[in-house]
Amino acid sequence: MNVPFLNPGAQTAPLRPALLAAMTEVLDRGHFILGPNVTALENEIAAFVGARHGIGVNSGSDALTLALKALELGPGDEIITTPFTYIAPAESIHQVGAKIVFADIDPRRFTLDPADVARRITPRTRAILPVHLFGQAAPLEALLPLAERHGLKLVEDCAQSIGATWQGRSTGSVGHIGCFSFYPTKNLGADGDGGMCVTQDEALAKRLRMLRVHGIEKRYHHDLHGFNSRLDELQAAILRVKLPHLSAWNARRGEIAAQYTAGLADLPVQLPAAATGNTHIWHVFALLTDQRDALQAHLTAHGVPTLIYYPVPLHLQKCYADQGWRAGDYPVAEDVSRRILPLPMYPELTEEQVAHVIQVIRGFFTQ
Ligand SMILES: Cc1ncc(COP(=O)(O)O)c(C=O)c1O
Which domains are delineated in the chain?
8-243 (3.40.640.10), 245-366 (3.90.1150.10)
* Neighbouring residues of 159: CB distance < 8 A, sequence distance ≥ 6: 60, 86, 88, 131, 179, 180, 181, 183, 186, 195
Alpha-helix runs per DSSP H in 113-245: 114-119, 140-150, 202-211, 233-242
Protein residue with its CA nearest to atom 10 in ligand 1: 60
Atom of ligand 1 nearest to the CA of 182: 10
212 touches 179 (CB < 8 A): no
Q: Give me the residues of the chain with pLDDT under 70, please.
A: none
* Neighbouring residues of 149: CB distance < 8 A, sequence distance ≥ 6: none
Distance 61 CA to ligand 1 centre (A): 6
Report the C-alpha dihedral over residues 189, 194, 200, 201, rounded to 10 degrees.
170
Count of C-beta atoms within a 10 Å radius of residue 232: 21
* Residue 121 confidence (pLDDT): 98
The answer to whether the Cα torsion of 69, 70, 71, 72 is positive or negative is positive
Pocket around ligand 1: residues whose beta carbon is below 6 Å from it?
59-61, 85-86, 88-89, 131, 157, 159-160, 181, 183, 193, 195
* Residue 260 confidence (pLDDT): 98
Alpha-helix runs per DSSP H in 245-324: 246-264, 292-301
* Residue 338 confidence (pLDDT): 98
Answer left, alpha or beta for residue 330, where phi above 0 means left and psi between -120 and 50 means alpha: beta
Helix (H) or strand (E) holding 334: helix 331-339
Distance 355 CA to ligand 1 centre (A): 30
Report the C-alpha dihedral over residues 41, 164, 99, 77, rounded to 10 degrees.
70
Question: Taking Cα atoms as reference points, which of 85, 106, 81 lies closest to residue 94?
Answer: 81
* Residue 367 confidence (pLDDT): 79
CA angle 116, 121, 124 (to 5 degrees): 155
Choice from 62, 86, 162, 182 to test ligand 1 binding pocket (greatest atom count within 8 A of CB): 86
> Can you tell me the distance from the alpha carbon of 299 to that of 197, in angstroms, rounded to the nearest whole number?
38
